[in-house]
Structures are given as structure tokens and as C-alpha cells.
Amino acid sequence: MKKYSLLILALVSFTVLLAQKPIISFEKTTHDFGKINEEDGKATVVFNFTNKGNATMVVSRVQASCGCTTPTWTKEPIESGKKGSITVAYNPLGRPGAFTKSITVFSNATEEVVNLTIRGEVLSKPSTQNSVSSQFPVVMGDLRLSGKAIQMNNIDKGKTQLRSIDIKNSGNNNIRPTVENLPAHISTKVTPDILKPNEEGKINFSLNSNLCNQWGPLSDEVYVSLNGQKKFTHDFQLQVFSNIIEDFSKLTPDQKRKAPILETAGRTVSFGEIKIGSKKNTQFKISNKGINPLVIRRIINNNREVIVRQPKMSIASGKSGQLSFTVDAKSLPEGEYKKSITIQTNDPDNSFIIVVLNWKVKK
């Protein structure tokens, strides 16, 4: 009888916990543009959603499957019953034919990952279908490129991801392109290494996650050099986007049993009122209820007015650690504020958690 009572209690506790989480509900998750003309420019659609849960929701990131698709989204915390949106723009330039693209939405909702889909068919103008400008829209001197963004997408820690972009020499002289300012985890190879006039080639990118000392979403800026002339300017800049994650699907039953378990008193931190020009500090407790050490992989803080201090990277079984959050209201006008911070850990069930910070600035 005692065994059944404990089981019922566990189910009730799980139900209560689930009810306290945000729930993301989209009006639609797919959109068909139908037939669109290449010369008409970007095609845009808005995916609206509602937080139908009982806790604040934060969309931590939205990732497209390729550089031709650009998402923007509601970055402010969304209260229960409120709405948000994901705006997706597809660039048809130089991409005639049918297309299907996916957009992955990451949040702290009960359904942590939601996939959106756009599809359609690009109709190109006969006069520009095979033009250099449509196939290679990016210009760097006499070198033309198919794009400036290299999307590595999700990479399991320990693996290497390969991507490439197309290039063309549109000038009258040979060009030797190289890629500079490379971090240790990214290497490149240009083929052929010297482009003759009107010759096409590729820049191949390789990202080795073992050589990367950061976890989570990354954006690396690299620069193209022509014939050894280094120009570290925006016109010659490329961006490599990636997301270093941990693959928990291969854990054995014993590894799952011994996995760390992250526990917090909540996912919201309230600072109350803060006077303009002053600072306010508070502590955020993280406990490990599992067996193996809980490792804080990374804290993603994109808020200038928030300072995060992390004294411990690893928390032993049965122990706790404290994160220190400080809000600096030096340059903040009066008003109410809500910001979010993402914490990445090695807990298989809480690899990404979002903490919402709120406060009110007064004179």
C-alpha cells in the first residue's frame, strides 16, 4: 500500500511541476509560399504563438537550416496568456526551383524544441537565371561568393562538421584567396588555391568541436584575404555559426542512472526596486541531486546591465553552488525590466535552462 501511495504522490508532483511550465502553442507550424518570383526579393511569413502555460516563457534561440533563411523572434520574456512571434524571411536570389526549409525553435516550454517548415517554388527570370550576380551575389573585389554566412548548425561535442561556399574569379587576373583570423577550432581549404579569370571554386570549412573551449551557440568572424592583402573590414568578413551540444541519446542505462540532476528553487529571480545609478545583487542557488558531478558548461548572458559571476564550474553529488547576479542601473531609465539568461549543463533533462530576471528602476 505504501508503494502505491508513493507512486501516486510522485505522479501528482510531476503533474504539478508540468502545470507550472510554459506551453508554446503555434497557430501553424508550416507555410507554403506557393510560387514566388526571384526578382521580387525576400518572401516573409510570421508564425504566431501563445504561451498557454502558467509560467513565463523565453525563446532562447531560433535556428534556420541554411543561410538563405533568416529568422527573427520575440526575445522578451512572454507571460502566461501572452503572444509572441517568429518572423521568417526566405531569400530566393540565385535559388530557382522548389525548396523546403526547416526552422528550429528552442525555448523553456514543455515542448523545448519545435520545428517550423516553409516551402515553395522560386521562378527565375530567363535573363538572369544563369547570371554571375544571381549565383554569386557577394562581392569582395574581383572575388564573388555565394554567401557570407556559413551555417554549421548543431554539432555534437567530439565531432567535426564540414561546410562550403562557392566562389568565382570575376576579374582578369589570377586570385589567391585565403581565410584569415581563424580560431583554433576552424580550418579552411580553398580549391583550387589559385583561381584563374572566370574560374569557379570553393572555400571548404571544417569545425572541430574538440578544439572549441565553449559550449552552446557560437558566432565566429573570419576574413577573406586576396593575394595576401589582409583587410579585416566588414566588406571582407564571413560569419561561421554553430551550436556545440551534448548527445545524450547514446547514454547507457547505467550512465542515465548516475547522471547529474539539476535542481533550483525556481527559474525566476526578482530584484524588486533598484534606484537609478545604483547596483543590486542577488544569489541563485543550483543543487545537484544526481550521482555524477553537475557541470555548468556555459552561461549565455546577452544583457549589458547584468553581471553574472560563477565561482564553481562543477557541483558534486548532494552539493550546491551559487551564481551571483548583479544588475547595474547606471544607464537605465525608469521602468520595468525582464531579461533572460541561459545556463547550459550536463544534466540530460536540463541541458539548457532559462532564468528570467525582473526588476523595476525608480528615481
Quote the CA–CA distance of 205 and 39 in Å, as a whole number: 30
Tens digits of per-residue pLDDT, 273-303?
A: 999 989 999 999 999 999 999 999 999 898 9
Q: How many residues does the chain have?
A: 363
On the question of a common fold for 25-127 and 136-245, the answer reads yes
CB atoms within 10 A of CB 2: 6
The percent of residues in the chain predicted with pLDDT above 70, rounded, is 93
pLDDT category of residue 8 using cuts at 50, 70 and 90: very low
Q: What's the whole-number mean pLDDT along residues 213-240?
A: 91
The Cα–Cα gap between 324 and 319 comes to 17
First-residue to last-residue Cα distance in the chain = 60
Residue ranges per domain, the chain?
25-127, 136-245, 253-362
φ and ψ of 313, to 5 deg:
-95, -25
Structure confidence by residue, pLDDT tens digits, 40-87? 888 999 999 999 999 888 898 888 877 788 899 998 889 999 999 999
What mean pLDDT comes out for the span 94-120? 88
Placement of cell 568565382 in the chain = 168
Give pLDDT, residue 12: 44
3-state secondary structure the chain: CHHHHHHHHHHHHHHHHHHCCCCEEECCCEEEEEEEEHHHCCEEEEEEEEECCCCCECEEEEEECCCCEEEEECCCCECCCCEEEEEEEECCCCCCEEEEEEEEEEECCCCCEEEEEEEEEEECCCCCCCCHHHHCCEEECCEEECCCEEEEEEEECCCEEEEEEEEEECCCCCECEEEECCCCCEEEEEECCCECCCCEEEEEEEEEHHHCCCCEEEEEEEEEEECCECCCCHHHEEEEEEEEECCHHHCCHHHHHCCCCEECCCCEEEEEEEECCCEEEEEEEEEECCCCCEEEEEEECCCCCEEEECCCCEECCCCEEEEEEEEECCCCCCEEEEEEEEEEECCCCCCEEEEEEEEEEEC
CA angle 231, 232, 234 (to 5 degrees): 105
Question: Pairing mode, if any, of strands 200-208 and 160-169?
Answer: antiparallel
pLDDT tens digits for 306-344? 999 987 789 999 999 999 999 999 889 999 998 888 899
Phi, psi (rounded to 5 degrees) for 250: -95, 5
Q: Which CATH class is domain 253-362?
A: mainly beta
Burial 148-172 (b: 16+ CB within 10 A, else e): bbbbbeebeeeeebebbbebbbbee
Q: Which residues contact 291 (CB under 8 A, 6 or more apart)?
A: 257, 258, 259, 260, 317
Confidence of residue 16 (pLDDT cuts 50, 70, 90): very low
Per-residue model confidence as pLDDT tens digits over 236-265: 999 998 889 888 988 999 999 999 999 998
CATH topology of domain 136-245: Immunoglobulin-like (2.60.40)
What confidence tier does 130 reach under pLDDT thresholds 50, 70, 90? low
C-alpha cell at 125: 527570370
Sheet holding 262-263, edge to edge: 262-263, 279-288, 320-328, 306-309
Which residues contact residue 251 at a Cβ distance below 8 angstroms, ignoring those fewer than 6 apart?
259, 348
Q: CA angle at residue 59 from 58 to 60, to 5 degrees?
A: 100
Could you say which architecture CATH assigns to the domain 25-127?
Sandwich (2.60)
Cell of 213: 573551449
Residue among 350, 347, 342, 289 nearest 320 (CA): 289
